[in-house]
Structure 1
Amino acid sequence: MIRRLHLPANVMAYLLLTLNASTVWAATESKQPSGKIMKWVDEQGTTHYGDTLPPQYSGKESNISPRGMPQTDTANSTASETPGKESEQTRRDRTLQAVYSSEHEIDLARDRNLQMDQAMLEGLEQRKLSVTARLQELKNLEAGYIKRGQPLPKDFKKDFKAALLDIDKIDEQIAERKHHMETMRLRFDNDKKRFIELKTGVPAGEGASPAH
């Protein structure tokens, strides 16, 4: 004969709450991960972390210790770490391929960038011609005063010196502008060579046939 216990309502509620909490705790404990965290990199180069590795990335993961430090027992752990220079080159290559779709576009970009420099260079050369003409006028004026035996005007030496300084300054600016233009041409030439290497997969100079 089974005897039923008649417990107060508050005691019965407490027992039920304790039983439910124990059940939830047991279920949770059975699903806890082992503490091993996996790291993998997807096709876009994004690094992911988790306790479960997607099947398509099997063999490409590296383990992370419970403290978050990479484990060194995985053969491929160093493959995902890229040195600073390589990562910089990768970034430059990605930008190069994203900005240009052909070598011709690189040439057009180079020409557009050189247009302003060329305009500034032409302006400097025109200014030099003007100052040179002014200097020649001063020389002719000086020769006339000397021929007539007259003293030079009060501000003559000052004007003559100013013209010489202007020409020196303009020559310096012309040299700087030409150097800037040459540097820009070299940069675009290097970008073009690198673009062709990325496009063809052949390093510059290796695909040329020997001369006969």
Structure 2
Amino acid sequence: MLRRSHLPTNVMAYLLLTLNTSTIWAATESKQPSGKIMKWVDEQGITHYGDTLPPQYSGKESSISPRGLPQTDAGNSTASEPPGKESEQARRDRTLQAIYSSEHEIDRARDRNLEMDQAMLEGLEQRKLSVTARLQALKNTETGYSKRGQPLPKEFKKDVKSALLEIGKIDEQIAERKHHMETMRSRFEADKKRFIELKTGVPAGESTSTAH
């Protein structure tokens, strides 16, 4: 059977006093001033200044520098930006500067990329000319049969329909290729614009105004 030990009253009082003192000290330590002068406005519109912000005004304060000027918290400014946006732009900028050394290199890279598209576009246009010529030959044949009063072969209408469908598909492919080329031109133009901004340190559109 366990026995309970009873501490003397004076010893118990000393322990309680020590515990309370430690608790108060810990609470005081957790509420030490941040070293910054804070500014906040209460519900009545009265502006207050102090080194400790009341909890109910958290998120509504602003920092004041020792010279009395508003101070921007770098942590808060980055937190307000969409996650990953700045790092993604920085990565793209580093890649751009690593690949190219001048805007002329960007132009040459654009032209090299467009060469294959241009070759494919020319191939499509040649195919269209060929199919169009075949369709015209079918129409001439139809005219000949009509003049002679002879019936058209069974496969004739099928050949005409096939030629018309092929021309339609080629037209779609030509439109898609031209759109792809225009998108590529726009992308390289945007890369060149950003490259010049990084190189000169002047945002695009401001170079003219700063020059005057």
TM-score, normalisation: structure 1: 0.61
Q: Separation in 1 of the partners of 2:157 and 2:109? A: 48
Alignment of 1:20-31 (within 5 A): none
**1:117-165 residue CA offsets vs partner (Å, 9 max, x unmatched):** 0000000000000000000000000011111110001100000000000
Matched residue type, 1:90: A
User: Equivalent residue for 1:202?
Assistant: 202
CA separation of 1:76 and 1:169: change in aligned 2, threshold 3 A: closer
How many residue pairs get aligned? The number is: 138
User: Equivalent residue for 1:88?
Assistant: 88
User: Equivalent residue for 1:175?
Assistant: 175
**1:25-72 residue CA offsets vs partner (Å, 9 max, x unmatched):** xxxxxxxxxxxxxxxxxxxxxxxxxxxxxxxxxxxxxxxxxxxxxxxx
Alignment of 1:25-174 (within 5 A): 75-78=73-76, 83=82, 84-174=84-174
TM-score, normalisation: structure 2: 0.61
Q: Separation in 2 of the partners of 1:94 and 1:80? A: 20
**1:159-187 residue CA offsets vs partner (Å, 9 max, x unmatched):** 00000000000000000000000000000
Partner SS, residue 172 of structure 1:
helix
RMSD of aligned Cα (Å): 2.1
Matched residue type, 2:110: R
Q: Separation in 1 of the partners of 2:197 and 2:121? A: 33
Shift of 1:190: 0.3
Partner SS, residue 142 of structure 1:
helix
Q: Separation in 1 of the partners of 2:177 and 2:96? A: 26
Identity %: 80
Q: Separation in 2 of the partners of 1:193 and 1:76? A: 28
Q: Separation in 2 of the partners of 1:147 and 1:77? A: 87
What are the ranges of 5 or more consecutive residues in structure 1 without an aligned counterpart? 1-74
Matched residue type, 1:118: Q
Matched residue type, 1:102: S
Q: Separation in 2 of the partners of 1:188 and 1:80? A: 29
User: Equivalent residue for 1:32?
Assistant: none
